[in-house]
Every structure is written in structure tokens, then in C-alpha cells.
Chains A and B, each alone.
Chain A
Amino acid sequence: MLLPLLWMLSTSLKTPENIFTFPPKLLPIPLNWQNYLDVWEAVPFARFYLNTVIVAVSVTAGQVATSSLAAYAFARLEFPGRDKVFFAYLATLMIPGAVTMIPVFILLRMIGWLNTYKALILPGMFSAYGTFLLRQFFLGIPTDIEDAARIDGCSAFGIYKNIILPLSKPALATLTIFTFLGAWRDFMWPLIVIDSPQKKTLTIGLAMFQGLHSTDWGLLMAASFLVMIPLILVFLFNQRFFIEGIKLAGLKA
């Protein structure tokens, strides 16, 4: 499992002449930290980092907001066809991104939003998975506190904000982490709507380390490692949330 990642780390620390040798040198000796410094000079890497943070944070905030609001409606409010609408929405999980790609591209081009943060953020502001996860969690919260609050004149939005959300921190944490990882890793969508280097995210910015004729692999691997660090940290420190989150979604045996 780890071998490819170690190979990447090793390559990122090699001197250029040590990268392609036969037999391959397993260890990066002499150690060469230069790649990790050059990354920031070779391309607007800091800019890509900033863009990715902006996009990932906004998408995450947006998804958590739209999902939790909708999940509350599906779990607590009475309206005709509620469960049918929910399942129809859940079915959109089955729709591959490539299916909606061209019309969304045309729409964004029409309103002049290509190469903007809006193009990166807005199409990612909802998630059937997130709504599903939170709805399942909300259904598991006992209703007696809400009933009391309602008698005291609390509005639906007040109940959502003051009772449901505070009680749902574990599920919200799971969704936040899932969404953040997903947004950070996204590749196909930025590839389609962005070509200005000013707005590139890390995953598509990495391609700039590949020259027309040759690729500086040491540099590319160093950059890739820097892209991964936040993900590795978020994942390793929160892995129990993933497992808990799936259990919370009621997918238990």
C-alpha cells in the first residue's frame, strides 16, 4: 500500500541525475531538498494553493449548508411526495459528472463565468450523499426536545439552528471532511472550466510541471507531495469520522 507513496517521496528528494538510473536508486542519496524550494518558483504554486483552499472551503461550506437544510426538510417537515422527492434526489448519485459537463460548461460560458472561482464553486454546492447522511442522522434524533421548543413558539428554522445542528456535530464533521477531501482532489471539472494560471487549482496546476518535451520528475513529485500533505493530515487525524459517518448513515447491518 505504501510503496508507491514512498517511491514518490524518494523521487522528490533525488538529484536530477539520480532519478533515471538503472538499476533505480531506492534511496535518495545524496538528499536533495532543492525541489521543495524550486516548486514555489517554477510555477505560481502558492497561487494554486490559495485557489484550492478558497474553492475547497467554499464548496464544503456550501454543501454542508444546502445538505443540512434539505436534510431537515426531508427528516422533519411534512409535505406531499416528500419521500419520493428524496429518493429521486438520491438517485442523482448515479449520474456521472461527465454527463452534465457540456451543458454546464455552455451555461457558464454564456454568462461569462469561465475562469472564475464561481465556476469552480457553485456547481459543487450540493451533494446527494451529504443530504442522505444528514437526513439519516436527523431521523435518529429524538423529537421530544423539538416538541417542547415548538410549544414554546420556536420556529422551524430556530429548531434547525439551535437544536438539530448542535446535536449533529459528528455527522456534520464527517460530511465536512468528506467534502473537503473531495473538493481538494477534484480534477476533471477544473480542467474543463479553468485555463488561466491565475485561477488554476493544485490538481490541474501540477500539469505545468510537465514540459512539452520532458518532465522534471523530481519537481513534479515534490509538488505532488506538497499537494497531498493537507489531505494526509486531515485523513489520518480524522479517519474514525469516516467510519462513524458511514455507520451514522444507517447503513448498519
Chain B
Amino acid sequence: MNKDFRDTIIFLSPLLLFVSLFMLFPVLGTFWLSLWRDVAFLPRKFVGLANYLRLFKDTQFWQSMIFTLIFSLISVAIEMVLGIIVALVINERFHLRGAIRGISLLPWAIPAIIGARIWQLIYRYDYGLANYLLGSVSGVSINWLGTSGGAMFSLILADVWRTTPFVAIIILAGLQSVPEELYKQARVDGANLFQRFVKVTLPSIKPVVIVALLFRTIDALRVFDIIYVITGGGPGGATTSLSLHSYKYFLLGDFGYGSTISFVLFIIAFALALLYIRLGRFREIAL
């Protein structure tokens, strides 16, 4: 046997074992399960694409789909813009930069579920900090989690708070790799701050922006933790994400239909990823 081939087997087999068991087969398994009626207390039955037809009649599924897309679109857009701004600020040289950097990136280090509990406390209608602060300025109090718009807003705010630092970390790494000479040259050419940002910074950090966008989009599409804690998917299912919708069928023991929803999520994530990769020429970055 060829020596390099033998080495390849040795080096790759641990990874291949785990990836096959816990990624490859499960994805295929999800598709396979989605073709069955697999519910508690009833015999399993092959139903072909019937579960997919059921999606069309499942109004909660469409509500979840729309919620997940809108939530992802808005929160990722805000996080990207804020993340770039935060990264630009903490990339400057100033007093106590290390400390400020650490503090501003901190929310990302804590578990989503804990961040969510804090926000839940802040959003409380009766004794919450949000209504207190708002009330002392304007005299109104808002039922943050009681209306679908309020709940959506509250979740986006909590998500932006927690994940903007993640975007900022990635962008910061990109900023630090921009050669100083480019800025010097632009300054010599008389470019002002804004022009330098548009002509030098932005094109240089485009690859990291795409990477951050990719990671954040995939992550936002599967949002689960903060919704599970803050709204539980309510009011009236208005903030039930696709992951949570699928989880609810999992809890009911309806594995067939739960898998169908999961597989749709997979298709959406994959299509978006392909789109970004085309946009960003990710292959070139990685090679």
C-alpha cells in the first residue's frame, strides 16, 4: 500500500468517523425520516412527500419561516453595521484601549441563555428596567413581550447586544491586517477620513466581512436559545423560529414532521451559503 495513502487514512479517520456518525448520516437521516410518519403510539409508515405537503397547510410553519427570515435579515444587518463601527473604534489607539476592547466584546463570551434571562428581566412589563428608563423619559410603558412587534424588537435587541461583538472581533482581525502603507498613500493623495474608509478600508476587509456575514446568517437562521428563554415563541407563535417549531414537534414525539421542518431549514441555509460563497469568492480566501 502506498505510504501517503496509509498516512491519509490514519490522519483522517478520527475526523471521518465523527463527521459520518454525527453529521453526514444524520443529515441523510433527517431527509429519510421526513419521508415517514413517525409519531408516538402509531406504527411507522412510509408516506413519501406527504410531510412536505403538510407544510403548505401548516400556518405556524409559514409564520415561523417569515419570522426567522425577518429576524435574521434585520438582526444580521444591524450587527454587521454596528460590528464594523465598533471594530473601527477599538482599532484606534487610545488610552485604556485593551480594557475597552475587552469590555465591549464581552457579551459574546457569555452564554446566549444567560444574556436572554437578563433581557427577560429587563423587559418585564411591571418592574422591568426598560420600562423604568423609558418611563422616566417619556412617561409611557411598553408591553415589550406582549405584542408580536414588541417581541420581535426585543429579541432583535437582545441578539444584537450579544452578537455584535462577534462581528467586531472578526472585522477587527481584518482591520489589523490592512497594510499601513495603503493609508499613508491615501493620505498623501489627499483622501479624507470617509474616502479612506470607502477606498482603502472597505475593499481590504471585504473578505472578512463576507466571512462574518456567512457565520452570522447561518447562526441567526437557527436561532433557538434566546427565543426559548425570552418569549418561548410567543405571543401566539409570533416569534417561533424554525428551530423552535421543529423542537416542538420533537417534544411531541412527531419525528417525521419535525425532521421535515429541519430539512427545510437545511435547504435554506445551504442556498444562502452558496450565494455568499459566490459573492465572496470564499474559495480564493481559503486557498
Residues of A participating in the B interface, judged by any CB pair closer than 8 Å: 1-2, 4-5, 7-8, 11, 19-24, 65-67, 69-70, 72-73, 77-79, 83, 87, 89-107, 122-123, 125-126, 131-132, 136, 156-157, 160, 181, 184-185, 187-188, 192, 203, 206, 217, 220-221, 224, 227-228, 231-232, 234-236, 239, 242-247, 250-253
Flag whether B156 is at the interface (Cβ < 8 A): no
- B225 contacts A1, C-beta separation under 8 Å: no
A94 to B64, CA, bound (A): 20
- Provide the residues of chain B in CB contact with A19, threshold 8 Å: 127
- A78 contacts B4, C-beta separation under 8 Å: yes
From known contacts A24-B132, A87-B283, infer whether A243 and B11 are also in contact, taking CB-CB under 8 Å.
no
From known contacts A65-B14, A251-B211, infer whether A231 and B110 are also in contact, taking CB-CB under 8 Å.
yes
The 8 Å CB contact of A253, one of B117, B208, B243, is B208
- A247 contacts B23, C-beta separation under 8 Å: no
Flag whether B113 is at the interface (Cβ < 8 A): yes
From known contacts A95-B269, A102-B30, infer whether A136 and B286 are also in contact, taking CB-CB under 8 Å.
yes
- B106 contacts A24, C-beta separation under 8 Å: no
- B105 contacts A239, C-beta separation under 8 Å: yes
From B54-62, B189-197, B256-264, give the one contacting chain A: B256-264
From B45-53, B73-81, B142-150, B167-175, give the one contacting chain A: B167-175
The 8 Å CB contact of B102, one of A78, A101, A235, is A235
Interface of A, helix, strand, loop or mixed by DSSP: helix
- Provide the residues of chain A in CB contact with B215, threshold 8 Å: 93
- B20: min CB distance to chain A, Å: 10
- B22 contacts A66, C-beta separation under 8 Å: no
- A126 contacts B132, C-beta separation under 8 Å: no
**Nearest CB to that of A233 among chain B residues?**
B109
Name 8 extra pairs, CB < 8 A, besides A20-B126, A184-B111, A251-B211: A89-B15, A90-B286, A96-B265, A98-B242, A132-B286, A231-B111, A243-B172, A243-B176
Flag whether B186 is at the interface (Cβ < 8 A): no
- A22 contacts B177, C-beta separation under 8 Å: no
- B286 contacts A185, C-beta separation under 8 Å: no
- Provide the residues of chain B in CB contact with A11, threshold 8 Å: 121
Flag whether B70 is at the interface (Cβ < 8 A): no
From known contacts A11-B121, A251-B174, A253-B205, infer whether A100 and B23 are also in contact, taking CB-CB under 8 Å.
yes
Complex interface bits, B92-113 against A, C-beta within 8 A gives 1, otherwise 0: 0000000001111111011111
- Provide the residues of chain A in CB contact with B242, threshold 8 Å: 98
A247 to B228, CA, bound (A): 34
**Nearest CB to that of A89 among chain B residues?**
B19
The 8 Å CB contact of B106, one of A104, A187, A236, is A236
A188 to B113, CA, bound (A): 10
**Nearest CB to that of B258 among chain A residues?**
A102
- B218 contacts A72, C-beta separation under 8 Å: no
The 8 Å CB contact of B110, one of A77, A156, A228, A243, is A228
- A242 contacts B169, C-beta separation under 8 Å: yes
A253 to B183, CA, bound (A): 14
* Interface set, chain B 245-287, CB cutoff 8 A to A: 246-247, 250, 255, 258-259, 262-263, 265-266, 269-270, 272-273, 283, 285-287
**Nearest CB to that of A245 among chain B residues?**
B173
Residues of B participating in the A interface, judged by any CB pair closer than 8 Å: 4-5, 7-8, 10-12, 14-15, 18-19, 21-23, 25-27, 29-30, 33, 101-107, 109-115, 117-119, 121-122, 124, 126-129, 132, 136, 161, 165, 169-170, 172-174, 176-178, 204-208, 211, 214-215, 218, 221-222, 224-225, 228, 242-243, 246-247, 250, 255, 258-259, 262-263, 265-266, 269-270, 272-273, 283, 285-287
- A88: min CB distance to chain B, Å: 10
- B55: min CB distance to chain A, Å: 16
- B11 contacts A1, C-beta separation under 8 Å: no
Most chain A CB atoms below 10 A, which of B124, B127, B136: B127
Most chain B CB atoms below 10 A, which of A123, A136, A234, A242: A242
The 8 Å CB contact of B117, one of A160, A220, A235, is A220
- A187 contacts B113, C-beta separation under 8 Å: yes
- B11 contacts A4, C-beta separation under 8 Å: no
Instruction: Pick 28 A–B contacts, CB within 8 A, sort by A.
Output: A1-B165, A8-B118, A19-B127, A23-B132, A23-B136, A72-B11, A78-B4, A79-B5, A94-B272, A96-B269, A100-B26, A102-B262, A103-B26, A103-B33, A103-B259, A107-B21, A125-B22, A126-B15, A126-B22, A157-B7, A185-B111, A187-B111, A187-B228, A228-B109, A232-B109, A235-B109, A250-B286, A252-B208
- Provide the residues of chain B in CB contact with A8, threshold 8 Å: 114, 118, 121
A221 to B117, CA, bound (A): 8
From known contacts A78-B4, A251-B211, infer whether A203 and B111 are also in contact, taking CB-CB under 8 Å.
yes
- A96 contacts B222, C-beta separation under 8 Å: yes
